[in-house]
Amino acid sequence: MRHVVVFTGAGVSAESGIPTFRDALAGLWERFDAEELATPEAFRRNPALVWGWYEWRRMQVMRAQPNAAHRAIAQLEERVGRFTLITQNVDDLHDRAGSRSVLRLHGSLFAPRCFDCDEPAALAPEIPGEPASGRALAPPRCARCGGLVRPGVVWFGESLPEAAIARAFEAAQSCDVLLSVGTSSLVHPAAQVPFVAKRAGARVIQVNPNPTALDEIADLNLRSPAATALPTLVESLSRD
């Protein structure tokens, strides 16, 4: 059976109540300054502001549930011969929906590590109540070297995890169908994944209620929310 790649962005989790980055009004980068929150320099300047903001996001994710799109993607993995799920998301909703293997290009909210020595750090317990967005919270200290613990996500100006991006491009080059779900396709190098697949001859299907940078090359543009489109699409891909 064919090799299907699913490539997801923040839009796949939007219907679980997790805000995207660039949607008008609700997008995180419409309300918060990425330069103050998502760069190594920002963490050096104000570690408590950055740590508090990511802990707020982690708490939001812990209270959210996977939606029909996450579940349909997990089902597709069981139905096709070869399957690769690549996500730019830092939540764990694909895993909780039952996806067995997730290639994470931008890290995870659930894998903090030391800013100085890279040692993985234990997760703090859930903070009771709804932590206010932007509330400063001192980051824990590394058990090995005493350095500050940072969120395990990729920040602007940082490289993507080498093994994950290499495997993502390899999968894109060898797939028959690539399904791009809920991403603006603006953040590189991750955004190149569907373009690599297209150049290598794959059929590219996009699910997104809004136009994106991928529209021009997609063979099919489904202008629909992910949780509506994915269950039907997965049924038809499973039959192909």
Q: Which of the ranges 19-27, 58-66, 162-170, 193-201 carries the binding residues for ligand OAD, by CB under 6 A?
A: 19-27
x/- site string to ligand OAD, residues 61 to 100, per CB under 6 A?
---------------------------x-x----------
Q: By C-beta, is 127 or 187 nearer to ligand OAD? A: 187
- Residue 211 CB partners (closer than 8 Å, separation 6+): none
Using omega within 30 degrees of 0 as the cis cutoff, is the peptide bond preceding 125 cis?
no
Size of interface with ligand OAD, in residues (CB under 6 A): 27
Nearest approach, Cβ of residue 132 and ligand OAD (Å): 21
Of 57, 70, 106, 198, the residue at the interface with ligand OAD (CB under 6 A) is 106
Kindly state whether residue 222 participates in binding ligand OAD, applying the rule CB under 6 A: no
CB 92 within 8 A of CB 62: no
* Active-site hit among 3, 94, 106, 188: 106
Q: Which of the ranges 54-62, 120-128, 167-175, 181-189 carries the binding residues for ligand OAD, by CB under 6 A?
A: 181-189
- Cα–Cα distance measured from residue 150 to residue 112, given in angstroms and rounded to the nearest whole number: 6
| Long-range contacts at 231-235 (CB < 8 A, ≥ 24 apart) | 231/68, 231/69, 231/71, 231/72, 233/72, 233/179, 233/205, 233/207, 234/72, 234/73, 234/75, 234/76, 234/79
Kindly state whether residue 206 participates in binding ligand OAD, applying the rule CB under 6 A: no
CB 143 within 8 A of CB 91: no
Kindly state whether residue 182 participates in binding ligand OAD, applying the rule CB under 6 A: yes
Of 14, 172, 179, 193, the residue at the interface with ligand OAD (CB under 6 A) is 14
Backbone CA torsion sign across 15, 16, 22, 26: positive
Of 108, 180, 184, 206, the residue at the interface with ligand OAD (CB under 6 A) is 184
Q: Does 3 participate in catalysis according to the annotation?
A: no
Kindly state whether residue 180 participates in binding ligand OAD, applying the rule CB under 6 A: no
Which residues on adjacent β-strands are paired with residue 82? Answer: 3
Please choose, from the candidates 67, 88, 86, 89, the residue with its C-alpha nearest in 3D space to the C-alpha of residue 77. 86
Residue 110 has φ and ψ, to the nearest 5°, of -110, 20
Q: Which residues bind ligand OAD (CB under 6 A)?
A: 9-11, 14-15, 20-23, 27, 88, 90, 106, 153-154, 182-184, 186-187, 207-210, 212, 225-226
Catalytic residue list: 106
